[in-house]
Amino acid sequence: MSGTLVIAGLGPGSDALVTPEVSAALAEATDVVGYIPYVARVPDRAGLRRHASDNRVELDRSRHALAMAAEGRRVVVVSSGDPGVFAMASAVFEALEAGPEGWRGIEIRVLPGITAMLAAAAAAGAPLGHDFCAINLSDNLKPWALIEKRLRLAVEGDFAMGFYNPRSKARPEGFTRVLDVLRETCEPERLMIFARAVSTPDQALRITALKDAAPEMADMRTVVLVGSSLTRLIAREGQAPLVYTPRSAPEGRSE
Subset of residues 213 to 242 that bind its own copies, contact rule: CB under 8 A: 232, 234-239, 242
Which of the ranges 46-54, 107-115, 186-194, 203-211 carries the binding residues for its own copies, by CB under 8 A?
107-115
Check residue 185 for interaction with its own copies (CB under 8 A): no
- Write out the binding residues for its own copies, residues 24-83 only, by CB under 8 A: 24, 58, 82-83
Q: Which of 35, 38, 132, 175 binds its own copies (CB under 8 A)?
A: 132
The sign of the dihedral angle between the CA atoms of 63, 64, 68, 69 is negative
Q: Please report which helix (H) or strand (E) contains residue 6, including its range.
A: strand 4-9
Nearer to its own copies, 179 or 230 (CB): 230
Nearer to its own copies, 49 or 237 (CB): 237
Q: Which of 54, 71, 80 is nearest to 106 (CA)?
A: 71
Q: Which of 78, 135, 186, 217 binds its own copies (CB under 8 A)?
A: 135
Query: DSSP string spanning 190-252?
Result: -EEEEEESTTSTT-EEEEEEGGG--GGG--TTEEEEE--TT-EEE--TTS--EEE--S---TT
Check residue 18 for interaction with its own copies (CB under 8 A): yes
H-type helices in the chain, by residue range?
A: 20-28, 36-39, 58-70, 88-98, 116-124, 144-156, 173-185
Nearer to its own copies, 132 or 194 (CB): 132
CB 45 to its own copies: min, Å:
19
Which of the ranges 12-20, 36-44, 184-192, 205-213 carries the binding residues for its own copies, by CB under 8 A?
12-20
